[in-house]
Amino acid sequence: LGVVFVGDGAPAGSYGYTNSGYSVYEEENERLTESLRTKVSAIKSLSIEIGTEVKNQNKMLSEMDNDFDSTGGLLGATMGRLRTLSRGSQTKLLCYMMLFSLFVFFVIYWIIKMR
């Protein structure tokens, strides 16, 4: 059996490899590898940015949670004061409200008369 040679002197079983050590396939593999490397780098950069954004959002949510807790405490204290007021004498509170209403009525009446 003899070895069949392709036009450039390479044996037919070498599937187009040249004598220089690099083939068209190797060059294409290098190009595709570099393209893949670029894409992986872009994805890595994007994932790092997403991680940073998630950390910032978690920090902001934690601050909002603290703000809501303090507001809840303030509202709770206010509701406690209102309960204390409502437990007091109802007649006294009703009398004060009637006096205030009469005062507002007379002020409005006086303003209308002055025109």
Domain that holds residue 50: 29-114
> pLDDT grade, residue 33 (50/70/90)?
very high
Q: Is residue 67 part of a domain?
A: yes
Q: Is residue 74 part of a domain?
A: yes
The average confidence (pLDDT) of the chain is 81
Number of domains comprising the chain = 1
Q: Is residue 23 part of a domain?
A: no
Buried b (16+ CB within 10 A) or exposed e, 66-81: eeeeeeeeeeeeeeee
Amino acid at 5: F
Q: Is residue 11 part of a domain?
A: no
Q: Is residue 4 part of a domain?
A: no
Q: pLDDT by residue (tens digit) across 60-78?
A: 999 999 888 888 888 888 8
